[in-house]
Amino acid sequence: MLSQKTKYALKALLYLAEQDANHISKTIEIAEAASIPKKFLEQILLDLKRGHFVGSKQGKFGGYYLLKSGNDITLAEIHRLFDGAIALLPCASLNFYEPCSDCKTESECSLRHGLMIIRDETLKAMQGITIASLVKK
Partner DNA sequence: TTAAACTCTACTATTTTTATAGAATTTATA
Partner DNA sequence: TATAAATTCTATAAAAATAGTAGAGTTTAA
* Residue ranges binding DNA (CB under 7 A): 3-5, 8, 25-28, 37-40, 42-43, 45-46, 49, 56-64, 83
Q: 66, 13 in Cβ contact below 8 A?
A: yes
Strand locations in 31-110 (E): 54-57, 63-66
Residues facing 66 on adjacent strands: 54
- Nearer CB in complex with a second copy: 7/49: 7
**Is residue 21 within the footprint of a second copy (CB under 8 A)?**
no
**Is residue 133 within the footprint of a second copy (CB under 8 A)?**
yes
What sign does the dihedral 83-70-135-119 (CA atoms) show?
Answer: negative
**Is residue 38 within the footprint of a second copy (CB under 8 A)?**
no
Strand locations in the chain (E): 54-57, 63-66
Question: Which of a second copy, DNA, none is residue 125 near (CB under 5 to 8 Å by kind)?
Answer: a second copy
DSSP 8-state secondary structure symbol assigned to residue 74? B
Question: Which of a second copy, DNA, none is residue 121 near (CB under 5 to 8 Å by kind)?
Answer: a second copy
Q: 63, 57 in Cβ contact below 8 A?
A: yes
- Nearer CB in complex with DNA: 1/136: 1
Q: 45, 15 in Cβ contact below 8 A?
A: no
The footprint of a second copy (CB under 8 A) covers 1-2, 7, 10-11, 14, 35, 75, 84-85, 87-90, 102, 110-111, 113-115, 117-118, 121-122, 124-126, 128-129, 133-135, 137
